[in-house]
């Protein structure tokens, strides 16, 4: 009947086996296959129980995302579940891997669940799940989206039994249910766990507040919390109808579009353009990382987390010991919080071989340099790497701004040199900008992309320019945030607008976190002035590390507190410079924080530093915490409309006498033609 769902008999038990790689997503074909096979098994007198199981690495891991936004095809998931609930014979879900989203909902339609698992929301999940686990855990699971393990699922009544092999375990369980003549448990008719919550509705408001804290500005978790509360006072069928309406509304809004776009953009980013199809990545068995500082340590941790051995190289034993100590402490803290197993820190440390001297790169297939950001030092290090590395090793620099072509030029193998720009903290941040230099060989490039994916990073290929994609766009924003202070805004006003938009931090809080002295020293080196920032540093305000920067900090706290002293310092500086400050609206701040970045993004596309607007968005989503429900700066630009953005940029260029704000030619062209950035790939 179906290619992706088969019916297999084991004595009196019929197994409906879904086999739709890679993750058994609920495509129309899978839904139809389950629907028809369950119906047939229920009609067959020789069948006494039905098991729904999946082949491959996981039970149904969710909806078929490409189907979202297209006309729905019958049968819908609710119809499939209704067919299961209608069965007169026990239906058992055999769960392995993760039962996420629609997959979990499918299991909730079954009378019984047995598992080996982890668990999320959508059709029926807000109504049946609270009936299985009680409303409190039900609402928490749905708003956080955090999967729960099999033992917890068992404890809370989400599953009936933990089994070893999912299918065999479920068949044995099915036989037991038949022999014991257990009554069928149809969750939609079972309100036994809802009573406790009837007295106390605060669990829903608390869960909504927690969701809002975690995903500020995101609609879906709040809507889900509300939907779970319907279990208390809305009849099941009516609640299910309301839930479907809510789901369709959420799926149609810009936040949902943005999230689907982010999903596909990440996938696209992994497909490297401009390399022959036959190109294969080079094998990487051992990695050498040079520098055990902030970045080198974090990068080494990412490799060890993925089980890849690392030679970590420093200039002296002391630096090495310090770096290794920080890594160990970091893992131990995670283990103490239960984030990794207790024996993981020791196992991961064992994968790291600390060494002094650059001759130790000799066994590595990939070498990543993370030493000080000075061209002379980088060149010295690459000359030494070139002398010792084995032929065919890929040589990468983690530089934030420096020209990779110039670095490659000091080696006799520029074809093997590229950038791998990780973000801080490197063991946490997912982005890795892979910088393709003029002479980088296609297979060296693919090696970097493949290894980045292997260590669970999101790679995006970019070209050589000052700051590559992310930091170059950030610089366009920084220029405006600094100017806004001279024109009349305060750090806390600018930061509040940026965080309200959804970024985790505003530019001034970020400056305080990174340390204001770094930029100050670099300005001194280059003979550049930035009066307000300079005055702060001259007053010893280097940011969080000195307890004072654009904000003040209470000891031991990272929470920025607006400081009247800073307001006075800004005021005095402006007076000294003869500048008149004006009131600046939040709307102007938002436009000047975001539109210049978009403009820089357009230039980056023109110069082919990034090959797709979606690559730029991936960089902002995974490297800078751009809110996923806003898709990325280029996606956001398309939503606002390029004509509006070009007009506002022109306006600010004149208002602030800053020709760099004039719309980039590509932006202007698309705006004039009424097109979007998304139209570029088509
Ligand atoms: P850091 O000062 O924390 O660490 C640099 C380390 O390199 C030091 O431990 C130093 O002893 C070591 N080192 C210097 N010369 C060496 C040599 N010849 N051989 C071996 N080790 C040597 O600096 P960091 O913040 O980790 O930055 C490293 C690189 O990463 C820089 O290029 C920087 O621009 C880039 N980067 C930094 C960040 C960030 O947020 N810190 C983010 C992305 C990229």
Distance of CA 293 from the midpoint of ligand 1 (Å):
5
Which ligand 1 atom minimizes the distance to the CA of 399? 32
Band of residue 110 on the pLDDT scale cut at 50, 70, 90:
very high
Residues present in the chain in total: 682
pLDDT of res. 536: 97
Ligand 1 touching residue 315 (CB < 6 A)? yes
Which residue's CA is the closest to the ligand 1 atom numbered 25?
294
Does residue 372 line the site of ligand 1, with CB under 6 A?
Answer: yes
Residue 354 structure tokens:
């600390």
Place of tokens 């991936």: 618
Q: Is the minimum distance from the CB of 314 to ligand 1 under 6 angstroms?
A: yes
Place of tokens 């038949």: 178
Average confidence score pLDDT of the chain? 93
**290 CB less than 6 Å from ligand 1?**
yes
> What spacing in Å lies between the alpha carbon of 398 and ligand 1's midpoint?
8
Q: Which of 495, 523, 490 is nearest to 508 (CA)?
A: 495
Mutation to probe ligand 1, out of 323, 370, 429 (largest number of atoms < 8 A from CB): 370
Please name the residue that has the structure tokens 């009131």: 583
Q: Is 504-572 assigned to CATH 2.60.40.10?
A: no
Residue 117, pLDDT > 90, answer: no
CATH superfamily for 287-466 is NAD(P)-binding Rossmann-like Domain (3.40.50.720)
Residue 123: which pLDDT band, with cuts at 50, 70 and 90? very low
Q: Which atom of ligand 1 is nearest to the CA of 424?
A: 40
| Ligand 1 atom closest to the CA of 295, numbered from 1 | 26
Query: Ligand 1 centroid to 618 CA: how many Å?
Result: 25
Evaluate if residue 549 carries a pLDDT over 80. yes
C-beta 264 within 6 A of ligand 1: no
Distance 370 CA to ligand 1 centre (A): 4
471 in contact with ligand 1, CB cutoff 6 A: no
SS3 letters across 466-523: CCCCHHHHHHHHHHHHHHHHHHCCCHHHHHHHHHHHCCCCCHHHHHHHHCHHHHHHHH
The residues that bridge with 26 in the sheet, in sequence order, are: 63
For the residues 545-557, what does the mean pLDDT come to?
95
Judged by average pLDDT, the poorest of 197-211, 294-308, 377-391, 557-571 is 197-211
The pLDDT value recorded for residue 214 is 77
> CA–CA separation, 327 vs 75, rounded Å?
52
What is the arithmetic mean of pLDDT over 135-142?
86
Report whether pLDDT(119) > 50. Answer: no
More reliable by pLDDT, 226 or 121? 226
The pLDDT of residue 199 is 61
**Percent of the chain surpassing pLDDT 90:** 79
Ligand 1 centroid to 511 CA: how many Å? 19
Residue nearest to atom 44 of ligand 1 (CA): 400
How far is ligand 1, taken at its centre, from the CA of residue 296, in Å?
A: 7
Residue owning the nearest CA to atom 8 of ligand 1: 293
The C-alpha angle with vertex 477 and arms to 471 and 481, in degrees rounded to 5, equals: 135
Are 153 and 251 within 8 A, CB to CB?
Answer: no
Question: What is the model's pLDDT at position 631?
Answer: 96
Write out the residue limits of the CATH 3.90.226.10 domain(s) in the chain.
Answer: 5-247
Distance (angstroms) between ligand 1 centre and the Cα of 291 equals: 6
Helix (H, G, I), strand (E, B) or coil at 152: helix
Is residue 292 in contact with ligand 1, taking CB distance under 6 Å? yes
Q: In this predicted model, what pLDDT tens digit does every residue of 414-439 receive, in sequence order?
A: 999 999 999 999 999 999 999 999 99
- The tens digit of pLDDT for each residue in 627-658 reads 999 999 999 999 999 999 999 999 999 999 99
What per-residue confidence (pLDDT) applies to 70?
78
Indicate the burial class of 317 (C-beta count within 10 angstroms; 0-12, 13-18, 19 or more): exposed
Judged on CB neighbours under 10 Å (0-12, 13-18, 19+), 15 is: buried
**All residues at 6 or more sequence positions from 517 whose CB lies less than 8 Å from its CB, including other chains:** 537, 542, 543
Please give the distance, rounded to the nearest whole angstrom, from the Cα atom of residue 552 to the centre of ligand 1.
28
The pLDDT of residue 118 is above 80 = no
Structure tokens at 231: 């279990």
Residue 406 CA, distance from chain mean position = 32
Q: How confident is the model at residue 125 (pLDDT cuts 50, 70, 90)?
A: confident
371 CB near ligand 1 (under 6 Å): yes
Distance from C-alpha of 301 to C-alpha of 283, rounded to nearest angstrom: 20
pLDDT at residue 120 in the model: 39
Is the confidence at residue 262, as pLDDT, over 60? yes
Contact 424 CB / ligand 1 (< 6 Å)? yes
> Ligand 1 within 6 A of 136 CB?
no
Give the phi and the psi of residue 554 in degrees, each rounded to 5: -75, 150
**Tokens for 523?**
């300005």
Q: Is 408 exposed, middle or buried (0-12, 13-18, 19+ CB in 10 A)?
A: buried
**The two structure tokens encoding residue 502:** 């959804």
- With the most atoms of ligand 1 within 8 angstroms of its CB, the residue from 311, 371, 423 to mutate is 371
pLDDT at site 248: 85
Mean pLDDT of 298-308: 98
What is the mean predicted confidence (pLDDT) over 138-165? Answer: 85
Per-residue CA distances from 269 to 42, 255, 280 (Å): 46, 21, 17
Q: Which atom of ligand 1 lies at the shortest distance from residue 296's CA?
A: 26
Bridge partners, 353 (sequence order): 311
Whether pLDDT at 359 is above 80: yes
pLDDT of residue 122: 43
Distance CA 142, CA 135 (A): 10
For helices 254-269 and 219-233, angle between their N-to-C axes, nearest 10 degrees:
130
Judge if the upstream peptide bond of residue 22 is cis by omega within 30 degrees of 0: yes
Answer whether residue 461 shows pLDDT above 90: yes
CB burial string 373-398: b at 16+ within 10 A, e below: beeeebbebbebbbebbeeebbbbbb
441 lines ligand 1 (CB under 6 A): no
pLDDT greater than 80 at residue 65: no
> Where does CATH 3.40.50.720 sit in the chain?
287-466
Is 1 a residue whose pLDDT tops 70? no
Residue 306 has pLDDT above 90, yes or no: yes
Of 136-140, 613-617, 660-664, the range with the lowest mean pLDDT is 136-140
Selection from 391, 314, 303 nearest residue 351 by Cα: 303
Distance from residue 377's CA to the centre of ligand 1 (Å): 11
Closest residue by CA, ligand 1 atom 31? 373
| Nearest ligand 1 atom to alpha carbon 313 | 20
Q: Which residues belong to CATH 1.10.1040.10 in the chain?
A: 504-572
Q: 292 CA distance to ligand 1 centroid (A)?
A: 7
pLDDT, mean of residues 572-579: 97
Architecture of domain 5-247: Alpha-Beta Complex (3.90)
The tens digit of pLDDT for each residue in 465-490 reads: 999 999 999 999 999 999 999 999 99
Tokens 């280059």 map to which residue? 526
Element (DSSP H or E) covering residue 356: strand 352-356
152 has a pLDDT exceeding 90: no
For residue 124, name the pLDDT band (cuts at 50, 70, 90): low
pTM of the shown model: 0.88
pLDDT at 202 exceeding the cut of 90:
no
Q: If pLDDT is split at 50, 70 and 90, which confidence band does 121 have?
A: very low
Q: Is 313 in the pocket of ligand 1 (CB under 6 A)?
A: yes
What confidence category does residue 349 fall into, taking pLDDT thresholds of 50, 70 and 90?
very high
Residue 530 in tokens? 């930035």
């Amino acid at each position: 009947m179906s290619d992706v769902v088969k019916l297999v008999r084991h004595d009196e038990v019929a197994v409906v086996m879904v086999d739709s790689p890679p993750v058994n997503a609920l495509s129309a074909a899978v839904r139809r296959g389950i629907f028809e096979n369950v119906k047939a098994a229920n009609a067959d007198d020789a069948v006494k129980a039905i098991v729904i199981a999946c082949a491959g690495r996981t039970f149904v891991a969710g909806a078929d995302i490409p189907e979202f936004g297209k006309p729905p095809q019958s049968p819908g998931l609710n119809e499939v579940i209704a067919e299961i609930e209608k069965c007169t014979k026990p239906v058992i879900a055999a769960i392995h891997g993760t039962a996420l989203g629609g997959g979990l909902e499918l299991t909730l339609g079954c009378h019984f669940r047995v598992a080996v698992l982890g668990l999320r929301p959508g059709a029926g999940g807000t109504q049946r799940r609270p009936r299985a686990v009680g409303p409190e855990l039900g609402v928490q699971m749905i708003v956080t989206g955090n999967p729960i393990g099999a033992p917890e699922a068992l404890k809370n009544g989400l599953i009936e039994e933990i089994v070893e092999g999912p299918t065999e375990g479920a068949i044995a369980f099915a036989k037991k249910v038949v022999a014991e003549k257990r009554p069928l448990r149809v969750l939609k008719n079972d309100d036994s766990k809802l009573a406790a919550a009837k007295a106390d509705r605060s669990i829903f408001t608390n869960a909504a507040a927690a969701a809002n804290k975690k995903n500020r500005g995101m609609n879906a978790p709040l809507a889900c919390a509300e939907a779970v509360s319907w279990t208390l006072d809305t009849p099941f069928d009516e609640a299910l109808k309301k839930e479907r309406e809510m789901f369709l509304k959420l799926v149609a809004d810009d936040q949902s579009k943005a999230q689907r776009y982010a999903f596909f953009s990440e996938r696209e980013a992994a497909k490297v353009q401009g390399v022959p199809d036959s190109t294969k990545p080079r094998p990487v068995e051992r990695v050498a990382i040079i520098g055990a500082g902030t970045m080198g340590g974090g990068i080494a941790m990412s490799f060890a987390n993925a089980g890849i051995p690392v030679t970590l190289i420093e200039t002296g034993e002391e630096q090495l010991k310090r770096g290794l100590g920080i890594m160990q402490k970091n893992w131990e803290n995670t283990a103490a919080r239960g984030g990794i197993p207790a024996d993981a820190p020791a196992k991961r440390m064992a994968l790291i071989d600390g060494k002094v001297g650059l001759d130790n790169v000799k066994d590595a297939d990939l070498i990543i340099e993370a030493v000080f950001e000075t061209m002379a030092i980088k060149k010295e290090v690459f000359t030494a790497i070139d002398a010792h590395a084995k032929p065919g090793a890929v040589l990468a620099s983690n530089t934030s701004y420096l020209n990779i072509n110039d670095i490659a030029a000091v080696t006799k193998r520029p074809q093997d040199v590229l950038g791998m720009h990780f973000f801080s903290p490197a063991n946490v941040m997912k982005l890795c900008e892979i910088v393709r230099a003029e002479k980088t060989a296609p297979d060296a490039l693919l090696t970097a992309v493949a290894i980045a994916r292997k260590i669970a990073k999101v790679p995006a290929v970019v070209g050589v320019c000052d700051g590559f994609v992310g930091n170059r766009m950030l610089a366009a924003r920084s220029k405006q945030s600094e100017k806004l202070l001279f024109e009349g805004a305060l750090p806390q006003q600018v930061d509040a607008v940026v965080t309200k938009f959804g970024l985790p931090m505003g530019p001034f809080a970020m400056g305080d976190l990174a340390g204001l002295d770094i930029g100050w020293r670099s300005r001194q080196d280059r003979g550049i002035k930035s009066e307000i920032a300079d005055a702060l540093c001259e007053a010893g305000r280097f940011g969080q590390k000195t307890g004072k920067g654009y904000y003040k900090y209470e000891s031991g706290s990272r929470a920025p507190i607006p400081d009247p002293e800073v307001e006075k310092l800004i005021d005095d500086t402006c007076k000294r410079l003869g500048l008149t400050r004006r009131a600046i609206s939040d709307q102007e701040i938002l436009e000047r924080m975001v539109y210049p970045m978009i403009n820089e993004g357009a230039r980056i596309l023109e110069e082919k530093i990034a090959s797709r607007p979606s690559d730029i968005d991936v960089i902002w989503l995974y490297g800078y915490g751009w809110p996923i429900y806003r898709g990325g700066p280029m996606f956001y630009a398309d939503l606002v409309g390029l004509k509006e953005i070009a007009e506002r940029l022109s306006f600010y260029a004149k208002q602030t006498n800053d020709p760099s704000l004039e719309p980039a030619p590509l932006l202007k062209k698309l705006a004039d033609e009424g097109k979007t950035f998304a139209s570029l790939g088509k």
